Amino acid sequence: MTTDEPVLLIDGGLSTALENRGVQVGGVLWTGELLLTNPDIVADAHRDFVEAGADVLITGSYQLSFEGGERAGWSDDDTIRALQNSTTAARLAAAEGTLVAASVGPYGAAQSDGSEFRGGYGVTSATLRDFHARRLDVLLATEPDLLAIETQPELQEIDVILTLLAERAPEMPFWVSSTVDTVGRIAGGAPWSDVVARVAESDASLAVGINCSSVEFITDTLRSVESPIPYVVYPNHGMDWDASTESWLGDGHDITDEHLSAWIDSGARLIGGCCGFGARDISDLRQRV
């Protein structure tokens, strides 16, 4: 890998783009609810990122699950339709050459308690397999360009998802990104080196990296391992998630030119933003990346 290889720009936080359009998001399904009730507004939010210069759109399927849908009073058919709409909404917004990455969120996201940022679910691999299998089948059937297996705090869960993917669609490109709050370890405690090694085993892996984490932990974590595959990096704005109020707390941190240079030098070839990054932020990154 050389530093003159192209860097693709990922979009920002879909919820942030919706909020910037005056849409209220929240509840068990977060933006996922809109994929059943108003998918057009989700497509509009995706389009804001395309116009800002994003090369990759991540779908709104992150918060969607059959279990979460049931708690929200949905039928399984409702959940299936919302998952299908997640890819459709991104496709409608995409320009020529825009890649659509179907979001595969973690088990913790469906618990609505912030556990995706700390891990330690205390469930078996069989439970995780049951949780992910049906949703993954629906998402694969929508034929996205790739999967964004994101905000993953536990190596156990990453292993389950990659096993399912190897069984169902071994040639589907994907990246895996984890949350970090300590240099060199993902949120659930596993060493970063173990995540890189596990993801790199697959011939279909495009990248491994970090998302929805503060920039302050990213550079040193990336540098702690020599990755055989590119890195993907899309931090949040550096605030802390309060699950009880469904809000981000704190002032946050911007992505500086120093951050970008260090990440690219470390092997990052997919860079964007997560929660707190709207279309204006992605437009700014477009100019600098």
Q: What distance in Å separates the CA atoms of residue 90 and residue 57, rounded to the nearest whole number?
A: 7
pLDDT value, residue 27? 77
Q: What distance in Å separates the CA atoms of residue 252 and residue 229, rounded to the nearest whole number?
A: 29
14-45 pLDDT, tens per residue? 999 999 999 988 778 888 999 999 999 999 99
Extended beta strands in 145-220, E state? 146-152, 174-178, 180-182, 185-186, 205-211
Q: Where are the domains positioned within the chain?
A: 8-288
CA distances from 74 to 38, 69, 80, 172, 198 (A): 15, 5, 10, 29, 35
Residue 118 CB: number of other CB atoms within 10 A? 16
Q: What distance in Å separates the CA atoms of residue 258 and residue 155, rounded to the nearest whole number?
A: 30
- The backbone region for 49, taken as left when phi is positive above 0, alpha when psi lies in -120 to 50, beta otherwise, is alpha
Average pLDDT, integer, range 202-227:
96
pLDDT value, residue 89? 98
pLDDT value, residue 249? 64
- Do the beta carbons of residue 232 and residue 9 sit within 8 Å? no
User: Domain spanning 8-288 has what CATH number?
Assistant: 3.20.20.330
Separation of CA 192 from chain center:
17
Going by pLDDT thresholds of 50, 70 and 90, the confidence category of residue 1 is very low
Q: Global pTM?
A: 0.94
